[in-house]
Structure 1
Amino acid sequence: TVLYLNRSLSVIEAKNCTLRAKGSLKFPKNFSFGAATSAYQIEGGWNADGKGPSIWDEYTHNDPDRITDRSNGDVAIDSYHRFDLDLKILKELKLDHYRFSIAWTRIFPNGDVSSKNQKGIDYYNDIIDKLLANNIEPMVTMYHWDLPVDIQKLGGFTNALIINYFTAYAEELFKLFGDRVKLWITFNEPMQICKPGYSTAESPPNIKSPGIGDYLCFTNILKAHARTYHLYKSKYVKEQRGRIGITMDTFFFISKSNDKNDVDRGMQFSFGIIAHAIFSKAGGFPKVLVDDIGKNSLAEGRSVSRLPHLDAYWKAYIRGSFDFLGLNYYTSRYVERPSKPLGENPSMLRDYDIEETSDPNWLQGKSNWLYCVPTGFEGLLKWIREEYDNVEVKITENGWSDEGDLDDDDRVSYYKSHLQAVLNAIHDGSNITSYSAWSLFDNFEWNRGYTEKFGLYAVDMKSPKRERTAKKSAIYYRKIIEARTLVDEF
């Protein structure tokens, strides 16, 4: 596994966002290229046609100062009213698939399936039908952070009732759309749901419960995902013949001292907390989490661990609940054990007990957390291959932020180097079957509002028509899709 960067050859590559190729390679014949979005970030129409409020609606309306430019997703790029423009772009890019999410409150305004909203259902039927009519595969994410407010009032993901609510919602999606949708993702990025939402209070629902709320959230997501998977397999897969996975995000971790234990600890706390229970042969939470969180809990005077216990039933039920692993990768970090404890006590950061740093040679994006580290991407894909028995991987997000220039050369370099990492990993035997660029459009980037741009297409946010314009990276990405291999920059 890639544990460290050989500085004799990495400094130039790091500064220029490049990666060496392992021979002349083409993507497999059936490899699928796509682009990704999420409902709250692009749809707008926040209360149109009977849609109910989500926690992001409530958050941006009640506390706009938490958003860098005090903006919100009320209108966003208005995809709710302008999907035909988006479809034209999807066809223009020659995409094989389009990953989008369904807004839970657009089809069930209060979150409960008894509150069915036909106009919302019609909207997604229209998207799915038009995609298929143009030979574009819909890849549907069931949950991309926009929880119904009424469900959060019950405790959201810290209340085990969420398992029932989510499973009922998912079953309705199968009934409504499963005759045409064959690729399902239950949850997008559990780490970004649980940690900022129920631990650090950096994002809605703004619950500050470090080292407790986050672990409850992870546990309930695992159970809701597994129950949804088994429901589909028992009732719907025979007729609908679809496939289900879950999407997780992570940095890759690089040890300056080539200490495999530090790398593994970083990966287990950031990725294994969900992935180990689903994709490993052992199941359950990773041993390092069980041991260390249990030990810390006892030292704090508690009678039981803050990490909820997964008994034999749940371990077996969750293990193997996948058809593929969805992966969001953006960047990497160096890791080492800290000289003194980090974070408040208790907290996931204190349990984690790893210090993360970046490299001054790495090219940095507009986002303060984002660096171009394609070596890390290749290392992550190898780590997953070795850790989870070469599970099928669908790369569901990968992208770069900037100021929004149409001549986005750094984004072109980012895509070229990271798709090279994918090719290198495939060359080494990784089972990678698809890639989704993040994002199709410049859109609402959560707490950063519209100040950071990830899109292949710019959007004129000052115009009521929200015109879309292709950037250099969009043209480049299309050339790769046409050639089915990497092409020279232009």
Structure 2
Amino acid sequence: MKLILFYCFVLGFLSRNTNGDLANKKFPENFRFGVATAAYQIEGAWNEDGKGENVWDRFLHENPFMAGYQNGDVACDSYHKYLEDVQLLKYLGVNHYRFSLSWSRILPTGYVNQVNQAGVDYYKNLISALVENGIEPFVTLVHFDLPQPLQDIGGWPNPQLADYFADYARLAFTLFGDDVKNWMTFNEPKQPCQYGHGYGYFPPGYATDGIGDYLCAHTIIKAHARAYHIYDEEFRSQQNGRISIVLDTYWYEPSSDSDEDKEAAERQRQFTFGWFANPIYHPDGNYPQVMIDRIAERSKQEGFSKSRLPEFTTDEIEYIKGTYDFLSLNTYSTYLVNWTEEYPIGNPSWDADISVTTYQDPSWIGSTSPTLDIVPWGMQKVLSWIDQTYNHPEIFISENGYADNGDLNDSQRIDFLSQYLSNVLLAIFDDGVNVTGYTVWSLIDNFEWLLGYTAKYGLYQVDFDSPNLTRTIKESGEYYNNVIVTKCPVDTCED
């Protein structure tokens, strides 16, 4: 009876959708559904069993106010409760679980000369439990949490880190590759670069906008390529897996039909997504030409002797391009873009290098996570743009989700999921985009970086006031299970 009442509720709720018709087609038979988490956000046990310190440990211990005096020291305690979390996954019926390794839990100093066996055993046990329950592991090597000793030698702007990351990646492939067939090198590298070395909001908190962020990205892109080639040349033939990088973007919609606004929107897309995607996914490689030209010109006017954007050599361009087996996308919302006059020449910055205006329509429905308004049609548009811009790659949606206050009756999340999934279907069937998977962020409520525990993304509620950190499924979790079983985001779909 409970289940019948629940589905009656879903039917009634979806019938009052205000963002257009919902797609009533089924997802293809081989389409994969999953959920995601990240090590720092759920594991806790920040200094247990030989784990080393990472940049988020240091940053929030030294600057506790940055996340409202909250941190990931305990988080969801998944280090101790991982078997319980695997059962949550099994109940949902997901095909895959995307999670990240804590580099510092495996290599406490960041270097391969000291391997922490307790950390290795934790991930081996987690991966074994997933495989035994028919859940495919999708493993991210770095999800923001660089080991602090590597930050102490300069962090990602130091090109030497590409070598240390390559060593770590090789070790991870060796340890876990027999059971892991899908790898992601980095999660959203734009965030630690732009917010950590540009704006200074993320660790290490360096405000070197327009310089440090570009240096950071340059190293990470080369580090990704190193890991790809290591896997391709040393492991692929035996392990038969795949490897990618997780890139994130909003959809950027021109605010009018004017050529100027259209050009501004495309410029924003290239500076946001193309910054990392072009060197890897574009047939020509290298950074987007609009970035190369604009940063070089503004650097010259600012009095620099050369562009603030580092250059790839011809050999590096060839080495980096094509280092992917699929395109992994995180996307949540949409912005409108206006053309604007050039920002004044003065202090360099990423925003000034773009010189456009972005904003969200006040009429759009918001969430408890700032800047993540619900704009379902942006999902279809961003998928179609990526498909056309990057020569029709396989696209795997590795994060998409909605933040609220954590109620079990999370009807707004059900609305969000139904509408965004419908727009994935529109991209597949109307635009011919090769989307092969969808991943909800997140399995459980967790630590959401500078938002602490105030933004709840989970399909399961976590009671952070209970000693056991009790997990309870939300109505959206029941809804998502039904989507996975029926491959249909609404009550009835065409066969």
Structure 1 runs not aligned, ≥5 long? 1-12
For 2:250, the equivalent position in structure 1 comes to: 251
Matched position secondary structure for 2:61: helix
Kept after mapping to 2: 8 A contact 1:335/1:355? yes
Q: Is residue 2:287 matched to residue 1:285?
A: yes
Matched position secondary structure for 2:348: coil
Aligned-residue offset at 1:257: 1.5
Matched position secondary structure for 1:270: helix
- Partners of 1:448 and 1:17 in 2: CA distance: 29
For 1:222, the equivalent position in structure 2 comes to: 221
Q: Is residue 2:445 matched to residue 1:442?
A: yes
Matched position secondary structure for 2:424: helix
The superposition leaves residues 264-304 of structure 1 with CA deviations (integer Å, 9 ceiling, x where unpaired) of: 11110000000011111111000000000000011111111
CA gap of 1:479–1:105, structure 2 versus 1, over 3 A, is same
For 1:310, the equivalent position in structure 2 comes to: 312
Letter in 1 for 2:37: T
The superposition leaves residues 392-431 of structure 1 with CA deviations (integer Å, 9 ceiling, x where unpaired) of: 1110000001111111111111100000111011102101
For 2:209, the equivalent position in structure 1 comes to: 210
- Partners of 2:104 and 2:413 in 1: CA distance: 34
Matched position secondary structure for 2:113: helix
For 2:92, the equivalent position in structure 1 comes to: 93
For 2:170, the equivalent position in structure 1 comes to: 171
Aligned-residue offset at 1:263: 2.1
Deviates more, 1:324-333 or 1:249-258: 249-258
Listed as ranges, the matches of 1:294-373 within 5 Å are: 294-339=296-341, 341=343, 345-373=347-375
Letter in 1 for 2:438: Y
Structure 2 runs not aligned, ≥5 long? 1-13
Matched position secondary structure for 1:112: coil
- Partners of 1:114 and 1:17 in 2: CA distance: 57
Kept after mapping to 1: 8 A contact 2:263/2:339? no
Q: Is residue 2:479 matched to residue 1:476?
A: yes
Aligned-residue offset at 1:487: 2.2
Aligned-residue offset at 1:20: 2.7
TM-score, normalization by structure 1: 0.95
Letter in 1 for 2:466: S
Kept after mapping to 1: 8 A contact 2:341/2:355? no
For 1:10, the equivalent position in structure 2 comes to: none
For 1:452, the equivalent position in structure 2 comes to: 455
Matched position secondary structure for 2:199: coil
Letter in 2 for 1:240: Q
Letter in 1 for 2:484: I
Listed as ranges, the matches of 1:87-236 within 5 Å are: 87-236=86-235
- Partners of 1:210 and 1:313 in 2: CA distance: 28
CA gap of 1:17–1:217, structure 2 versus 1, over 3 A, is farther
Matched position secondary structure for 1:371: coil
Letter in 2 for 1:324: F
For 1:42, the equivalent position in structure 2 comes to: 42
CA gap of 1:32–1:344, structure 2 versus 1, over 3 A, is farther
Listed as ranges, the matches of 1:255-274 within 5 Å are: 255-258=254-257, 259=259, 260-274=262-276
Matched position secondary structure for 1:486: coil
Matched position secondary structure for 1:377: helix
- Partners of 2:416 and 2:347 in 1: CA distance: 38
Matched position secondary structure for 2:243: strand
- Partners of 2:88 and 2:490 in 1: CA distance: 21
Letter in 2 for 1:249: D
Kept after mapping to 2: 8 A contact 1:17/1:414? no
Identity value in percent: 45
The runs of 4+ residues in structure 1 deviating greater than 4 Å are none
Matched position secondary structure for 1:335: strand
The superposition leaves residues 459-484 of structure 1 with CA deviations (integer Å, 9 ceiling, x where unpaired) of: 01111211100111101000100001
The superposition leaves residues 160-193 of structure 1 with CA deviations (integer Å, 9 ceiling, x where unpaired) of: 0110010000000000000110000000001111
For 1:33, the equivalent position in structure 2 comes to: 33
- Partners of 1:344 and 1:41 in 2: CA distance: 38
Kept after mapping to 1: 8 A contact 2:298/2:345? no
For 1:486, the equivalent position in structure 2 comes to: 489
Deviates more, 1:165-174 or 1:249-258: 249-258
Kept after mapping to 1: 8 A contact 2:301/2:345? no
Q: How many residue pairs get matched?
A: 474
Letter in 1 for 2:136: E
Letter in 1 for 2:46: W
Letter in 2 for 1:90: L
- Partners of 1:487 and 1:127 in 2: CA distance: 33
Aligned-residue offset at 1:21: 4.2
Q: Is residue 2:420 matched to residue 1:421?
A: no
Aligned-residue offset at 1:225: 0.3
Matched position secondary structure for 1:299: helix
For 1:408, the equivalent position in structure 2 comes to: 410
Aligned-residue offset at 1:18: 3.1
